[in-house]
Amino acid sequence: SEVKKIAVISGDGIGPEVVAEAEKVLKRTEELFGYSFETEHALFGGIAIDQLGTPLPQNTLDICKKADAVLLGAVGGPKWDNNPSDLRPETGLLGIRKELGLFSNLRPAVVFDCLKDASTLKPEVLEGTDLMVVRELTGGIYFGEKFRRQSPNGEEAVDTCSYNVMEVERIVRQAFEIAQKRRKKLASVDKANVLETSRLWREVVNRVAADYPDVELEHVLVDNCAMQLLRRPSSFDVIVTENMFGDILSDEAAMLTGSIGMLSSASMGEGSYGLFEPVHGSAPDIAGQGIANPIATILSLALMFRLTFNYADAADSIEAAVSEVLNAGHRTSDIAVDKSKAISTSQMGDLILAAMKK
């Protein structure tokens, strides 16, 4: 079969540690299934600031654009936290999403039965939880005009939030399509009791809903949604929401699965091109120790196989291997009940490789 090009940007902190395990899984997929991948590594985030003076070098963007898909670790860290905005790793992340047109961030949160005891919530509440957050990724307050000015009460900071119909409609349609292929339930999350952007959001959702009569739609205010996610997580199927609400709710959903180290994501545009990254960040508190959970990144690779390459066999194989290893009781420390038995990042990667079957 033809060679697929993957841009690999590992970033900062635990980024390189978890991406290394996903790359091992990539190699194993070639051996098992006969697919061929060509990887090209590029600098991104804090390490790119240090070496090239910018978080998103043009060359990195070019490598990503030439590739069929991008695998990303994480960026950021205390070293760059006091930098001006254009020299922040996070600015590079927003830039790459915008430049590559990745407006739709899919964040599945699935509770593995054997991990119910790893969550801080009661196992019976988690039973059957399998939801997908569809987060708008290139609009809203993240991308609005920001500035400082003087006010009579001292310096003032302003962040603006805007959405237009096109931006809302394209993400909402994707969410309806995804819901149609799942349990046909969609929760649209907004703050329409206060925000004008949310009122427009809701109007668009209601209009688009007419094209998807088989999908059961509910509107949930974001504060209530944050609460319902903990009260009745298994009742959610697909959740669609704007950029910042989706950022916050998906970290909350991570705790249903036991750890943010379990949560994968796909950032997509209109086509099959995508950027695949764990939901978590660079975890400076555990970086360099070889103890990070690589499963979020490995499952993000599985999402790449499924959504970009249509290699469902390889995606199934990886997901089954992750289940098998977890069912056998292997845990990194973030999901271990008995931390003294926790295994390392590379041990977890090796076990998953070994469990992969054709």
Q: Please give the annotated binding residues for NAD(+), written as ranges.
A: 77-90, 281-293
What is residue 326's three-state secondary structure? helix
Asked if residue 111 lies in contact with residue 119, where contact means CB atoms within 8 angstroms, the answer is: yes
Closest CB 74 distance from ligand NAD, rounded Å: 4
β-bridge pairing 266-268 and 274-276: antiparallel
Residue 159 annotated among the catalytic residues of the structure:
no
Residue 341 annotated among the catalytic residues of the structure:
no
Phi, psi of 214 (to 5 degrees): -80, -5
State the residues that interact with ligand NAD by CB under 6 A. 14, 18, 74-77, 90, 93, 260-261, 277, 280-286, 292-293, 296, 334
- From the number of C-beta atoms within 10 Å of its C-beta (0-12, 13-18, 19+), residue 170 rates as middle
What is residue 197's three-state secondary structure? helix
167, 247, 319, 334: which one contacts ligand IPM (CB under 6 A)? Answer: 247
67, 93, 215, 315: which one contacts ligand IPM (CB under 6 A)? Answer: 93
- From the number of C-beta atoms within 10 Å of its C-beta (0-12, 13-18, 19+), residue 173 rates as middle
**Between 136 and 334, CB nearer to ligand IPM:** 136
Residue 223 annotated among the catalytic residues of the structure:
yes
90, 167, 190, 237: which one contacts ligand IPM (CB under 6 A)? Answer: 90
Which one is catalytic: 191, 212, 311, 334?
Answer: 191
Which one is catalytic: 130, 251, 316, 350?
Answer: 251
Cα–Cα distances in angstroms (integers) from residue 302 to residues 186, 322, 356, in the given order: 24, 11, 12
Closest CB 98 distance from ligand IPM, rounded Å: 12
Residue 214 annotated among the catalytic residues of the structure:
no
For tokens 């069912």, the residue is 327
Closest CB 95 distance from ligand NAD, rounded Å: 12
Is 189 a binder of ligand IPM (CB under 6 A)?
A: no
Tell me which residues touch Mn ion (CB under 5 A): 247
